[in-house]
Structure 1
Amino acid sequence: MNAEASDADDVPAAELRFNFRSGRLCLAFVATVGERWRGRYERLREPSDLARWYREAGLLQEAPAVTRPGLESARALREAVHRIARAVIDGEPPSPADEAAVNAAAAAPPLIPVLSGGTGRLTLPAARGQQAALSSVARDAVDLFSGPAAARLRECASPECALLFVDTSRPGRRRWCSSDACGGRDRAAAYRRRRAGTPEN
Structure 2
Amino acid sequence: MNLDHVFVCGQPALDFAATLRARRSLRFEMFATPERLDAWYVESGIVDTVTRSRPADVDRARRVREAIYALVTARRRGEPFGDPALEVLNEAARTPTAAPQLTRAGRRTDATPEQALAAVARQAVELLSGPDVPLLKECGNPECTRVYVDRSRGMRRHWCGMESCGNKIKAAAYRARKRAAPDAVADVPAELGAR
TM-score by length of 2: 0.83
Deviations 1:145-194 (A, max 9, x none): 00011111111001232321111213122111113432233233333333
CA contact (8 A) 1:18 1:31 kept: no
TM-score by length of 1: 0.80
Structure 1: 5+ residue stretches without partners: 1-15
CA contact (8 A) 1:156 1:176 kept: yes
**Does residue 134 of the first structure (1) align with residue 117 of the second (2)?**
yes
1:45 maps to which of 16, 27, 32: 32
Q: Name the % identity.
A: 36
**Does residue 160 of the first structure (1) align with residue 147 of the second (2)?**
no
2:134 maps to which of 144, 148, 151: 151
What displacement does 1:35 show?
A: 1.4
Which letter maps to 1:104?
A: E
How many residue pairs get aligned? The number is 179
CA contact (8 A) 2:7 2:44 kept: yes
CA contact (8 A) 2:18 2:145 kept: no
Give runs of aligned pairs for residues 20-31 of structure 1, distance below 5 A: 20-31=7-18
Larger mean Cα displacement after TM superposition, 80-89 or 183-192: 183-192
CA distance in 1, matches of 2:61, 2:30: 12
What is residue 54 of structure 2 aligned with on the other side? 67
Larger Rg: 2
Structure 2: 5+ residue stretches without partners: 182-195
Which letter maps to 1:153?
A: L
Which letter maps to 1:155?
A: E
Deviations 1:64-92 (A, max 9, x none): 22122222111110100010111112111
CA gap 1:100/1:118 in 2 versus in 1, 3 angstroms: same
